[in-house]
Amino acid sequence: MTSTPESPKTTEPVLDVVPCGGLGEFGMNMMLVTWRDTAVLVDAGAMFPGPELPGVDLVIPDIGHLEERVGRLSAVVLTHGHEDHVGALPWVWPLLDGPVYGTPLTLALAGQKLAEHGVDPDERCRPLEAGGTAEIGEITLELIRVAHSMPDCVAVALHTPAGVIVHSGDFKIDQTPIDGQPLDVHRFAELGREGVLAFFGDSTNIERPGFTGSEVDVVPGLEEVFAGARGRVVVTAFASSLHRIRIIADLAEQFDRKLAFVGRGIVQNTDLATRLGHLRLPAGLQIRGSQVGDYSARRVVCVTTGSQGEPLAALSRIAIDDHRHVRLEPDDVVVFSARAIPGNRRAIGRVMDHIARRGAEVVHDERKAVHVSGHGSAEELKLLLSLVRPRYFVPIHGEYRYLAEHARVAARVTGGETTVLLAEDGDVIRLAPGEGRIAGRVAAGRLLIDGTRSGEVGNEVLRHRRHLAADGVVVPVIAVDRQAGRMEGTPDVVTRGVVLDDRTSVVLDTVPARLTEIIGEAGPEERSDRDLLAERVRIELQRLFRKQAGRRPLVLPVIMEV
Protein backbone atom coordinates (compact mmCIF):
# COMPACT_ATOMS: atom_id res chain seq x y z
CA MET A 1 0.00 0.00 0.00
CA THR A 2 1.34 3.43 -0.91
CA SER A 3 1.94 5.47 2.24
CA THR A 4 1.80 9.24 2.43
CA PRO A 5 5.16 10.78 3.34
CA GLU A 6 5.11 11.87 6.93
CA SER A 7 4.88 15.60 7.58
CA PRO A 8 7.69 17.26 9.54
CA LYS A 9 6.72 18.33 13.05
CA THR A 10 8.08 21.84 12.47
CA THR A 11 7.66 24.42 9.75
CA GLU A 12 11.26 23.94 8.63
CA PRO A 13 11.83 23.29 4.92
CA VAL A 14 12.02 19.65 3.87
CA LEU A 15 14.81 18.03 1.84
CA ASP A 16 13.44 14.89 0.17
CA VAL A 17 14.99 12.49 -2.31
CA VAL A 18 12.76 10.07 -4.22
CA PRO A 19 14.31 7.39 -6.46
CA CYS A 20 11.90 7.00 -9.39
CA GLY A 21 13.86 4.17 -11.02
CA GLY A 22 17.16 2.30 -10.87
CA LEU A 23 16.75 0.83 -7.37
CA GLY A 24 15.75 -2.79 -7.80
CA GLU A 25 16.66 -3.03 -11.48
CA PHE A 26 19.47 -2.20 -13.90
CA GLY A 27 18.38 0.80 -15.93
CA MET A 28 15.63 3.43 -15.65
CA ASN A 29 17.94 5.56 -13.48
CA MET A 30 16.02 8.60 -12.25
CA MET A 31 16.13 10.46 -8.91
CA LEU A 32 14.05 13.43 -7.72
CA VAL A 33 15.45 15.96 -5.23
CA THR A 34 13.10 18.56 -3.71
CA TRP A 35 13.77 21.56 -1.44
CA ARG A 36 11.02 24.12 -0.89
CA ASP A 37 9.71 24.93 -4.39
CA THR A 38 12.80 23.61 -6.19
CA ALA A 39 12.57 20.16 -7.81
CA VAL A 40 15.65 18.75 -9.55
CA LEU A 41 15.67 15.45 -11.44
CA VAL A 42 19.02 13.63 -11.63
CA ASP A 43 19.00 11.54 -14.82
CA ALA A 44 16.01 10.39 -16.85
CA GLY A 45 16.83 6.86 -17.90
CA ALA A 46 15.12 4.04 -19.75
CA MET A 47 15.55 0.27 -19.83
CA PHE A 48 15.37 -2.18 -22.70
CA PRO A 49 12.57 -4.74 -22.31
CA GLY A 50 13.18 -8.38 -21.54
CA PRO A 51 11.70 -11.30 -23.46
CA GLU A 52 8.63 -11.26 -21.21
CA LEU A 53 7.54 -7.97 -22.86
CA PRO A 54 6.99 -8.78 -26.54
CA GLY A 55 6.27 -5.78 -28.75
CA VAL A 56 7.68 -3.30 -26.23
CA ASP A 57 10.47 -1.00 -27.42
CA LEU A 58 11.40 0.75 -24.22
CA VAL A 59 10.60 0.71 -20.49
CA ILE A 60 10.69 3.98 -18.52
CA PRO A 61 9.75 4.90 -14.95
CA ASP A 62 6.13 5.83 -14.34
CA ILE A 63 6.45 9.59 -13.91
CA GLY A 64 2.84 10.24 -12.90
CA HIS A 65 3.85 10.86 -9.29
CA LEU A 66 6.28 13.59 -10.42
CA GLU A 67 3.40 15.68 -11.66
CA GLU A 68 1.35 14.94 -8.54
CA ARG A 69 4.20 15.60 -6.10
CA VAL A 70 6.01 18.63 -7.57
CA GLY A 71 3.86 19.81 -10.46
CA ARG A 72 6.75 21.10 -12.55
CA LEU A 73 10.48 20.37 -12.54
CA SER A 74 12.93 23.21 -11.91
CA ALA A 75 15.75 21.42 -13.76
CA VAL A 76 17.10 18.09 -14.99
CA VAL A 77 20.78 17.21 -14.64
CA LEU A 78 22.25 14.30 -16.63
CA THR A 79 25.33 12.40 -15.48
CA HIS A 80 26.17 10.98 -18.94
CA GLY A 81 24.67 9.98 -22.25
CA HIS A 82 23.89 6.27 -21.92
CA GLU A 83 20.33 5.17 -22.64
CA ASP A 84 19.74 4.09 -19.04
CA HIS A 85 20.35 7.71 -17.98
CA VAL A 86 18.85 9.80 -20.81
CA GLY A 87 16.39 7.52 -22.63
CA ALA A 88 13.27 8.76 -20.79
CA LEU A 89 14.03 12.47 -21.28
CA PRO A 90 11.45 12.97 -24.10
CA TRP A 91 8.71 11.80 -21.71
CA VAL A 92 9.96 13.99 -18.84
CA TRP A 93 10.22 17.06 -21.10
CA PRO A 94 6.55 18.15 -20.78
CA LEU A 95 6.98 18.46 -16.98
CA LEU A 96 10.05 20.65 -17.25
CA ASP A 97 9.97 24.38 -16.55
CA GLY A 98 13.72 24.94 -16.29
CA PRO A 99 16.90 23.88 -18.09
CA VAL A 100 18.59 20.53 -18.71
CA TYR A 101 22.20 20.51 -17.53
CA GLY A 102 24.91 18.15 -18.65
CA THR A 103 28.31 18.04 -20.32
CA PRO A 104 28.39 18.90 -24.06
CA LEU A 105 28.59 15.29 -25.27
CA THR A 106 25.83 14.17 -22.89
CA LEU A 107 23.50 16.92 -24.09
CA ALA A 108 24.33 16.17 -27.72
CA LEU A 109 23.38 12.50 -27.24
CA ALA A 110 20.24 13.46 -25.31
CA GLY A 111 19.45 16.01 -28.02
CA GLN A 112 19.30 13.23 -30.59
CA LYS A 113 16.62 11.52 -28.49
CA LEU A 114 14.64 14.74 -28.18
CA ALA A 115 14.90 15.54 -31.89
CA GLU A 116 13.52 12.08 -32.74
CA HIS A 117 10.41 13.04 -30.74
CA GLY A 118 9.99 16.42 -32.44
CA VAL A 119 11.45 18.40 -29.53
CA ASP A 120 13.94 21.25 -30.10
CA PRO A 121 16.95 20.17 -28.01
CA ASP A 122 18.38 23.71 -27.92
CA GLU A 123 15.30 25.13 -26.22
CA ARG A 124 16.37 24.32 -22.65
CA CYS A 125 19.71 22.45 -22.84
CA ARG A 126 22.54 24.21 -20.97
CA PRO A 127 26.01 22.68 -21.48
CA LEU A 128 28.18 22.60 -18.37
CA GLU A 129 31.73 21.30 -18.25
CA ALA A 130 32.99 19.05 -15.44
CA GLY A 131 33.88 21.34 -12.56
CA GLY A 132 31.20 23.83 -13.55
CA THR A 133 28.36 25.04 -11.35
CA ALA A 134 24.85 26.43 -11.84
CA GLU A 135 22.22 27.93 -9.54
CA ILE A 136 18.79 26.26 -9.37
CA GLY A 137 16.71 28.18 -6.87
CA GLU A 138 18.44 27.74 -3.50
CA ILE A 139 20.39 24.72 -4.79
CA THR A 140 23.84 25.00 -6.36
CA LEU A 141 24.57 22.28 -8.90
CA GLU A 142 28.16 21.09 -9.34
CA LEU A 143 29.45 18.56 -11.89
CA ILE A 144 32.45 16.41 -10.87
CA ARG A 145 34.49 14.55 -13.48
CA VAL A 146 34.43 10.72 -13.35
CA ALA A 147 35.75 8.00 -15.67
CA HIS A 148 33.33 5.60 -17.33
CA SER A 149 33.07 3.79 -20.69
CA MET A 150 32.50 7.01 -22.65
CA PRO A 151 33.78 10.59 -22.46
CA ASP A 152 32.23 13.54 -20.63
CA CYS A 153 30.79 11.63 -17.64
CA VAL A 154 30.21 13.30 -14.30
CA ALA A 155 29.01 12.83 -10.76
CA VAL A 156 26.63 15.44 -9.38
CA ALA A 157 26.87 17.43 -6.14
CA LEU A 158 23.78 19.34 -5.09
CA HIS A 159 24.64 21.99 -2.51
CA THR A 160 21.40 22.61 -0.61
CA PRO A 161 20.79 24.79 2.48
CA ALA A 162 20.39 21.53 4.47
CA GLY A 163 23.66 19.99 3.24
CA VAL A 164 25.44 18.51 0.25
CA ILE A 165 24.01 15.56 -1.70
CA VAL A 166 26.46 13.67 -3.93
CA HIS A 167 25.25 11.34 -6.71
CA SER A 168 28.07 9.19 -8.11
CA GLY A 169 26.60 8.56 -11.56
CA ASP A 170 28.32 5.62 -13.29
CA PHE A 171 32.06 5.55 -12.58
CA LYS A 172 35.26 3.60 -12.21
CA ILE A 173 38.68 4.68 -10.97
CA ASP A 174 40.68 4.37 -14.19
CA GLN A 175 44.27 5.62 -13.77
CA THR A 176 44.96 5.42 -17.52
CA PRO A 177 41.74 6.63 -19.18
CA ILE A 178 41.65 6.86 -22.95
CA ASP A 179 40.84 10.58 -22.90
CA GLY A 180 43.31 11.42 -20.13
CA GLN A 181 40.47 12.52 -17.82
CA PRO A 182 40.52 10.42 -14.63
CA LEU A 183 37.99 10.60 -11.83
CA ASP A 184 38.51 13.82 -9.84
CA VAL A 185 39.66 12.16 -6.61
CA HIS A 186 40.73 15.47 -5.10
CA ARG A 187 37.29 17.05 -5.41
CA PHE A 188 35.57 14.03 -3.85
CA ALA A 189 38.07 14.14 -0.97
CA GLU A 190 37.56 17.89 -0.57
CA LEU A 191 33.79 17.45 -0.37
CA GLY A 192 34.34 14.72 2.22
CA ARG A 193 36.44 17.05 4.38
CA GLU A 194 33.86 19.84 4.08
CA GLY A 195 31.02 17.47 4.99
CA VAL A 196 28.57 15.52 2.82
CA LEU A 197 25.03 15.00 4.05
CA ALA A 198 24.15 12.09 1.76
CA PHE A 199 25.95 10.01 -0.87
CA PHE A 200 24.08 7.99 -3.49
CA GLY A 201 26.49 5.40 -4.89
CA ASP A 202 26.48 3.11 -7.95
CA SER A 203 26.12 -0.58 -6.95
CA THR A 204 26.47 -2.22 -10.38
CA ASN A 205 29.73 -4.10 -9.73
CA ILE A 206 29.59 -4.45 -5.94
CA GLU A 207 29.79 -8.26 -6.27
CA ARG A 208 33.02 -8.07 -8.28
CA PRO A 209 36.07 -8.11 -5.99
CA GLY A 210 39.09 -5.89 -6.54
CA PHE A 211 39.35 -3.17 -9.15
CA THR A 212 37.84 -2.92 -12.64
CA GLY A 213 40.37 -2.97 -15.46
CA SER A 214 41.33 0.16 -17.32
CA GLU A 215 39.89 0.72 -20.78
CA VAL A 216 43.39 0.28 -22.22
CA ASP A 217 43.39 -3.31 -20.90
CA VAL A 218 41.41 -4.38 -23.98
CA VAL A 219 44.19 -3.24 -26.33
CA PRO A 220 46.36 -6.42 -26.12
CA GLY A 221 43.36 -8.70 -26.71
CA LEU A 222 42.09 -6.69 -29.67
CA GLU A 223 45.64 -6.31 -31.00
CA GLU A 224 45.99 -10.11 -30.99
CA VAL A 225 42.75 -10.40 -32.97
CA PHE A 226 43.92 -7.87 -35.56
CA ALA A 227 47.33 -9.51 -35.88
CA GLY A 228 45.90 -13.00 -36.43
CA ALA A 229 42.93 -12.16 -38.67
CA ARG A 230 43.37 -13.28 -42.27
CA GLY A 231 40.07 -11.74 -43.34
CA ARG A 232 37.79 -8.93 -42.29
CA VAL A 233 37.56 -7.90 -38.60
CA VAL A 234 34.06 -7.02 -37.41
CA VAL A 235 33.77 -5.54 -33.91
CA THR A 236 30.38 -5.02 -32.29
CA ALA A 237 30.01 -2.69 -29.31
CA PHE A 238 27.49 -0.32 -27.81
CA ALA A 239 27.05 2.66 -30.10
CA SER A 240 27.90 4.97 -27.19
CA SER A 241 31.15 3.14 -26.25
CA LEU A 242 33.25 5.89 -27.76
CA HIS A 243 36.43 4.98 -25.84
CA ARG A 244 36.26 1.46 -27.29
CA ILE A 245 35.62 2.83 -30.77
CA ARG A 246 38.64 5.09 -30.44
CA ILE A 247 40.83 2.08 -29.58
CA ILE A 248 39.52 0.18 -32.61
CA ALA A 249 40.23 3.17 -34.85
CA ASP A 250 43.83 3.33 -33.57
CA LEU A 251 44.29 -0.39 -34.23
CA ALA A 252 42.82 -0.05 -37.73
CA GLU A 253 45.45 2.57 -38.51
CA GLN A 254 48.21 0.47 -36.89
CA PHE A 255 47.33 -2.60 -38.97
CA ASP A 256 46.73 -0.65 -42.20
CA ARG A 257 43.01 -1.41 -42.37
CA LYS A 258 40.22 0.87 -43.51
CA LEU A 259 37.58 1.65 -40.87
CA ALA A 260 33.84 1.45 -41.60
CA PHE A 261 31.04 2.29 -39.16
CA VAL A 262 27.99 0.13 -39.89
CA GLY A 263 24.67 0.75 -38.18
CA ARG A 264 22.66 3.91 -37.65
CA GLY A 265 23.54 4.35 -33.97
CA ILE A 266 27.30 3.94 -34.54
CA VAL A 267 27.27 6.36 -37.47
CA GLN A 268 25.29 9.00 -35.57
CA ASN A 269 27.38 8.80 -32.40
CA THR A 270 30.77 8.78 -34.13
CA ASP A 271 29.77 11.76 -36.29
CA LEU A 272 28.71 13.60 -33.13
CA ALA A 273 31.89 12.62 -31.24
CA THR A 274 34.03 13.76 -34.16
CA ARG A 275 32.31 17.16 -34.22
CA LEU A 276 32.89 17.60 -30.47
CA GLY A 277 36.54 16.54 -30.64
CA HIS A 278 36.18 13.23 -28.75
CA LEU A 279 37.09 11.13 -31.81
CA ARG A 280 39.87 12.14 -34.19
CA LEU A 281 40.35 9.95 -37.25
CA PRO A 282 43.39 10.30 -39.54
CA ALA A 283 42.59 11.42 -43.07
CA GLY A 284 41.84 8.48 -45.36
CA LEU A 285 41.21 5.98 -42.55
CA GLN A 286 37.40 5.94 -42.63
CA ILE A 287 35.30 4.58 -45.47
CA ARG A 288 31.53 4.39 -45.84
CA GLY A 289 29.69 1.14 -45.24
CA SER A 290 28.83 1.02 -48.92
CA GLN A 291 32.57 0.95 -49.75
CA VAL A 292 33.43 -2.15 -47.69
CA GLY A 293 33.17 -4.42 -50.75
CA ASP A 294 35.65 -2.25 -52.65
CA TYR A 295 38.57 -3.43 -50.50
CA SER A 296 40.04 -6.85 -49.85
CA ALA A 297 38.72 -8.39 -46.64
CA ARG A 298 42.10 -8.30 -44.86
CA ARG A 299 42.21 -4.52 -45.30
CA VAL A 300 38.92 -3.68 -43.57
CA VAL A 301 37.59 -3.44 -40.02
CA CYS A 302 33.90 -2.79 -39.42
CA VAL A 303 32.43 -1.45 -36.19
CA THR A 304 28.76 -2.39 -35.93
CA THR A 305 25.72 -2.15 -33.72
CA GLY A 306 24.02 -5.33 -32.47
CA SER A 307 26.15 -6.50 -29.53
CA GLN A 308 22.96 -7.56 -27.69
CA GLY A 309 21.54 -9.67 -30.51
CA GLU A 310 18.93 -7.08 -31.49
CA PRO A 311 17.13 -8.58 -34.51
CA LEU A 312 17.09 -5.36 -36.57
CA ALA A 313 20.65 -4.26 -35.75
CA ALA A 314 23.42 -4.31 -38.34
CA LEU A 315 25.25 -7.37 -36.96
CA SER A 316 22.10 -9.50 -36.85
CA ARG A 317 21.50 -8.75 -40.53
CA ILE A 318 25.15 -9.36 -41.41
CA ALA A 319 24.99 -12.72 -39.60
CA ILE A 320 22.21 -13.98 -41.90
CA ASP A 321 23.58 -12.48 -45.16
CA ASP A 322 20.84 -9.84 -45.14
CA HIS A 323 23.01 -6.72 -45.10
CA ARG A 324 23.40 -4.65 -48.25
CA HIS A 325 27.13 -3.99 -47.92
CA VAL A 326 28.78 -6.47 -45.54
CA ARG A 327 28.91 -10.26 -45.94
CA LEU A 328 30.89 -12.64 -43.76
CA GLU A 329 33.51 -14.99 -45.19
CA PRO A 330 35.24 -18.01 -43.58
CA ASP A 331 38.43 -16.09 -42.67
CA ASP A 332 36.59 -13.22 -40.95
CA VAL A 333 36.63 -12.62 -37.19
CA VAL A 334 33.66 -11.15 -35.30
CA VAL A 335 34.45 -9.65 -31.88
CA PHE A 336 31.75 -9.02 -29.26
CA SER A 337 33.32 -6.15 -27.30
CA ALA A 338 30.45 -5.53 -24.86
CA ARG A 339 28.92 -7.21 -21.85
CA ALA A 340 25.81 -9.31 -22.37
CA ILE A 341 22.89 -7.61 -20.64
CA PRO A 342 20.94 -10.14 -18.55
CA GLY A 343 18.03 -11.43 -20.60
CA ASN A 344 19.83 -11.00 -23.93
CA ARG A 345 22.07 -14.07 -23.82
CA ARG A 346 19.75 -16.23 -25.90
CA ALA A 347 19.47 -13.60 -28.64
CA ILE A 348 23.25 -13.06 -28.61
CA GLY A 349 23.81 -16.81 -28.81
CA ARG A 350 21.58 -17.06 -31.89
CA VAL A 351 23.58 -14.35 -33.66
CA MET A 352 26.85 -16.08 -32.73
CA ASP A 353 25.50 -19.35 -34.17
CA HIS A 354 24.62 -17.66 -37.46
CA ILE A 355 28.11 -16.16 -37.63
CA ALA A 356 29.70 -19.55 -36.96
CA ARG A 357 27.62 -21.15 -39.73
CA ARG A 358 29.29 -18.78 -42.17
CA GLY A 359 32.70 -20.03 -41.12
CA ALA A 360 33.72 -16.85 -39.31
CA GLU A 361 35.40 -16.95 -35.91
CA VAL A 362 33.54 -15.56 -32.89
CA VAL A 363 35.56 -13.86 -30.12
CA HIS A 364 34.04 -12.62 -26.85
CA ASP A 365 35.30 -11.66 -23.40
CA GLU A 366 35.17 -15.23 -22.07
CA ARG A 367 37.71 -16.25 -24.72
CA LYS A 368 39.90 -13.15 -24.86
CA ALA A 369 40.19 -9.85 -22.96
CA VAL A 370 38.21 -7.77 -25.45
CA HIS A 371 35.93 -6.01 -22.96
CA VAL A 372 36.18 -4.29 -19.59
CA SER A 373 33.36 -2.88 -17.51
CA GLY A 374 32.75 0.84 -17.19
CA HIS A 375 31.69 0.43 -13.55
CA GLY A 376 33.93 0.31 -10.52
CA SER A 377 34.33 -2.98 -8.65
CA ALA A 378 34.06 -3.44 -4.88
CA GLU A 379 37.37 -1.85 -3.90
CA GLU A 380 36.65 1.26 -5.99
CA LEU A 381 33.22 1.62 -4.42
CA LYS A 382 34.81 1.33 -0.97
CA LEU A 383 37.46 3.90 -1.88
CA LEU A 384 34.99 6.50 -3.08
CA LEU A 385 32.84 5.96 0.00
CA SER A 386 35.92 6.48 2.18
CA LEU A 387 36.72 9.72 0.37
CA VAL A 388 33.22 11.16 0.59
CA ARG A 389 32.56 10.09 4.22
CA PRO A 390 28.86 10.97 4.13
CA ARG A 391 26.48 11.20 7.06
CA TYR A 392 24.00 9.02 5.10
CA PHE A 393 24.63 6.53 2.33
CA VAL A 394 22.04 5.17 -0.13
CA PRO A 395 23.04 2.39 -2.59
CA ILE A 396 21.61 2.97 -6.10
CA HIS A 397 21.76 1.34 -9.56
CA GLY A 398 21.09 -2.38 -9.43
CA GLU A 399 18.80 -5.19 -8.47
CA TYR A 400 17.91 -5.42 -4.80
CA ARG A 401 20.56 -7.98 -3.87
CA TYR A 402 23.25 -5.61 -5.22
CA LEU A 403 21.87 -2.72 -3.17
CA ALA A 404 21.75 -4.93 -0.06
CA GLU A 405 25.35 -6.09 -0.56
CA HIS A 406 26.51 -2.49 -1.09
CA ALA A 407 24.72 -1.53 2.14
CA ARG A 408 26.58 -4.27 4.05
CA VAL A 409 29.93 -3.23 2.55
CA ALA A 410 29.28 0.43 3.37
CA ALA A 411 28.51 -0.41 6.99
CA ARG A 412 31.89 -2.18 7.29
CA VAL A 413 33.82 0.57 5.51
CA THR A 414 32.44 3.45 7.58
CA GLY A 415 32.54 1.63 10.90
CA GLY A 416 29.16 2.93 11.93
CA GLU A 417 29.96 6.60 11.30
CA THR A 418 27.65 6.61 8.27
CA THR A 419 23.98 5.68 8.48
CA VAL A 420 23.01 3.40 5.57
CA LEU A 421 19.49 3.82 4.18
CA LEU A 422 18.47 0.88 2.00
CA ALA A 423 15.74 2.22 -0.27
CA GLU A 424 13.69 1.11 -3.27
CA ASP A 425 11.91 2.91 -6.10
CA GLY A 426 9.20 5.16 -4.67
CA ASP A 427 10.67 5.50 -1.18
CA VAL A 428 10.71 9.07 0.14
CA ILE A 429 14.14 9.58 1.70
CA ARG A 430 13.81 12.55 4.06
CA LEU A 431 17.24 14.03 4.82
CA ALA A 432 16.05 17.16 6.66
CA PRO A 433 14.76 18.29 9.06
CA GLY A 434 15.75 15.78 11.73
CA GLU A 435 17.46 12.46 11.25
CA GLY A 436 17.61 10.92 7.76
CA ARG A 437 14.98 8.23 7.28
CA ILE A 438 12.50 6.60 4.90
CA ALA A 439 9.51 8.88 5.51
CA GLY A 440 6.95 7.10 3.33
CA ARG A 441 6.30 6.05 -0.23
CA VAL A 442 4.89 7.42 -3.44
CA ALA A 443 3.51 5.42 -6.36
CA ALA A 444 6.31 4.03 -8.50
CA GLY A 445 6.11 1.75 -11.49
CA ARG A 446 6.92 1.39 -15.16
CA LEU A 447 5.59 2.68 -18.44
CA LEU A 448 5.91 0.35 -21.43
CA ILE A 449 6.63 2.11 -24.70
CA ASP A 450 5.16 -0.06 -27.43
CA GLY A 451 6.72 -0.68 -30.81
CA THR A 452 7.21 -3.44 -33.34
CA ARG A 453 9.81 -6.17 -33.28
CA SER A 454 10.56 -9.19 -35.41
CA GLY A 455 12.41 -12.36 -34.52
CA GLU A 456 13.18 -15.87 -35.65
CA VAL A 457 10.91 -18.89 -35.21
CA GLY A 458 12.84 -21.30 -33.00
CA ASN A 459 12.08 -24.72 -31.61
CA GLU A 460 10.28 -23.28 -28.61
CA VAL A 461 7.98 -21.27 -30.85
CA LEU A 462 7.20 -24.36 -32.93
CA ARG A 463 6.47 -26.36 -29.79
CA HIS A 464 4.07 -23.65 -28.61
CA ARG A 465 2.35 -23.63 -32.00
CA ARG A 466 1.76 -27.38 -31.83
CA HIS A 467 0.36 -26.94 -28.35
CA LEU A 468 -1.89 -24.11 -29.54
CA ALA A 469 -3.17 -26.20 -32.46
CA ALA A 470 -4.25 -28.95 -30.09
CA ASP A 471 -5.85 -27.08 -27.18
CA GLY A 472 -5.54 -23.34 -27.80
CA VAL A 473 -4.31 -20.69 -25.40
CA VAL A 474 -5.73 -19.09 -22.25
CA VAL A 475 -4.35 -15.68 -21.26
CA PRO A 476 -5.32 -14.53 -17.75
CA VAL A 477 -4.60 -10.80 -17.41
CA ILE A 478 -4.07 -9.80 -13.77
CA ALA A 479 -3.32 -6.33 -12.41
CA VAL A 480 -1.27 -6.35 -9.18
CA ASP A 481 -0.46 -3.37 -6.98
CA ARG A 482 3.34 -3.40 -6.95
CA GLN A 483 3.68 -1.84 -3.49
CA ALA A 484 0.81 -3.59 -1.70
CA GLY A 485 1.12 -6.91 -3.55
CA ARG A 486 -2.66 -7.25 -3.94
CA MET A 487 -4.79 -7.83 -7.02
CA GLU A 488 -6.56 -4.79 -8.43
CA GLY A 489 -9.99 -5.18 -10.05
CA THR A 490 -11.35 -8.32 -11.70
CA PRO A 491 -8.94 -10.32 -13.86
CA ASP A 492 -9.69 -10.70 -17.56
CA VAL A 493 -9.44 -14.07 -19.30
CA VAL A 494 -8.71 -14.14 -23.02
CA THR A 495 -8.91 -17.39 -25.00
CA ARG A 496 -7.84 -18.25 -28.53
CA GLY A 497 -8.37 -21.64 -30.15
CA VAL A 498 -10.02 -23.18 -27.08
CA VAL A 499 -12.96 -25.47 -27.85
CA LEU A 500 -15.94 -23.98 -25.99
CA ASP A 501 -17.95 -27.11 -25.15
CA ASP A 502 -20.08 -27.46 -22.01
CA ARG A 503 -17.25 -28.51 -19.73
CA THR A 504 -14.79 -25.86 -20.93
CA SER A 505 -17.38 -23.07 -20.66
CA VAL A 506 -18.11 -24.00 -17.05
CA VAL A 507 -14.40 -23.93 -16.22
CA LEU A 508 -13.91 -20.55 -17.90
CA ASP A 509 -16.76 -19.11 -15.84
CA THR A 510 -14.92 -20.11 -12.64
CA VAL A 511 -11.46 -18.83 -13.68
CA PRO A 512 -11.77 -15.20 -12.39
CA ALA A 513 -12.83 -16.39 -8.93
CA ARG A 514 -10.09 -19.03 -8.92
CA LEU A 515 -7.50 -16.39 -9.87
CA THR A 516 -8.59 -14.27 -6.92
CA GLU A 517 -8.05 -17.30 -4.66
CA ILE A 518 -4.64 -18.05 -6.19
CA ILE A 519 -3.39 -14.49 -5.62
CA GLY A 520 -4.80 -14.49 -2.10
CA GLU A 521 -3.07 -17.77 -1.27
CA ALA A 522 0.32 -16.54 -2.50
CA GLY A 523 2.77 -15.28 0.11
CA PRO A 524 4.04 -11.67 0.20
CA GLU A 525 7.36 -12.58 -1.44
CA GLU A 526 5.58 -14.48 -4.21
CA ARG A 527 3.16 -11.61 -4.89
CA SER A 528 6.06 -9.16 -5.19
CA ASP A 529 7.88 -11.36 -7.72
CA ARG A 530 6.06 -11.23 -11.06
CA ASP A 531 7.76 -14.33 -12.46
CA LEU A 532 6.96 -16.48 -9.40
CA LEU A 533 3.36 -15.28 -9.38
CA ALA A 534 2.92 -15.96 -13.10
CA GLU A 535 4.31 -19.47 -12.68
CA ARG A 536 1.90 -20.17 -9.78
CA VAL A 537 -1.06 -18.96 -11.87
CA ARG A 538 0.06 -21.05 -14.86
CA ILE A 539 0.36 -24.27 -12.84
CA GLU A 540 -2.95 -23.82 -11.00
CA LEU A 541 -4.97 -23.00 -14.12
CA GLN A 542 -3.46 -25.85 -16.10
CA ARG A 543 -4.42 -28.19 -13.24
CA LEU A 544 -7.95 -26.73 -13.23
CA PHE A 545 -8.48 -27.28 -16.98
CA ARG A 546 -6.94 -30.75 -16.92
CA LYS A 547 -9.08 -31.98 -14.01
CA GLN A 548 -12.42 -30.37 -14.84
CA ALA A 549 -12.41 -30.19 -18.64
CA GLY A 550 -9.85 -32.75 -19.75
CA ARG A 551 -8.07 -30.03 -21.75
CA ARG A 552 -4.45 -28.87 -21.75
CA PRO A 553 -4.49 -25.33 -23.15
CA LEU A 554 -1.33 -23.26 -23.11
CA VAL A 555 -1.71 -20.85 -20.17
CA LEU A 556 0.21 -17.57 -20.56
CA PRO A 557 -0.40 -15.36 -17.51
CA VAL A 558 0.09 -11.62 -17.94
CA ILE A 559 0.92 -9.93 -14.62
CA MET A 560 0.69 -6.15 -14.87
CA GLU A 561 2.21 -4.10 -12.06
CA VAL A 562 0.25 -0.94 -11.36
Mean model confidence pLDDT for the chain: 89
466 pLDDT more than 90: no
The residue ranking higher by pLDDT, 136 or 1, is: 136
What CATH number is given for 459-561 in this structure? Answer: 3.10.20.580
- Categorize the per-residue pLDDT at 561 as very low, low, confident or very high, splitting at 50, 70 and 90: confident
Q: Which of the following is catalytic: 16, 84, 152, 202?
A: 202
Whole-number Å distance between alpha carbons of 241 and 110: 15
Phi-psi region of 420 (alpha: psi -120 to 50; beta: other; left: phi over 0): beta
More confident residue, 502 or 54: 502
201-239 pLDDT tens trace: 999 999 999 999 999 999 999 999 999 999 999 999 999
Question: 469: pLDDT confidence band, cut at 50, 70 and 90?
Answer: low
Number of neighbours of residue 427 by Cβ within 10 angstroms: 22
Catalytic residue, from 243, 375, 397, 406: name it.
Answer: 375
Q: What are residue 487's DSSP bridge partners?
A: 480
**Integer Rg of the chain from CA:** 26
Q: Where in the chain is the domain with CATH 3.40.50.10710?
A: 215-363
List, by residue range, all CATH 3.60.15.10 domains of the chain. 15-210+373-448
160-183 pLDDT, tens digit each? 999 999 999 999 999 999 999 999
Q: How far apart are CA 70 and CA 34, in angstroms?
A: 8
CATH 3.10.20.580 location in the chain:
459-561
pLDDT at 509: 86
367 vs 371: CA distance, rounded Å: 11
How do residues 143-158 score in pLDDT, each as one tens digit? 999 999 999 999 999 9
CB 65 within 8 Å of CB 32: no
What is the spatial distance between Cα 114 and Cα 111, in angstroms, rounded to a whole number?
Answer: 5
Q: For residue 3, what pLDDT is reported?
A: 62
- Closest alpha carbon to 365 in 344, 336, 407, 385: 336
**What was the pLDDT predicted at 459?**
36
In CATH, the architecture of 215-363 is 3-Layer(aba) Sandwich (3.40)
The model's pLDDT over 76-113, given as tens digits with 9 standing for 90+, comes to 999 999 999 999 999 999 999 999 999 999 999 999 99
For 15-210+373-448, CATH gives 3.60.15.10
**Active-site annotation holds for 331:** no
Selection from 211, 263, 202 nearest residue 237 by Cα? 263
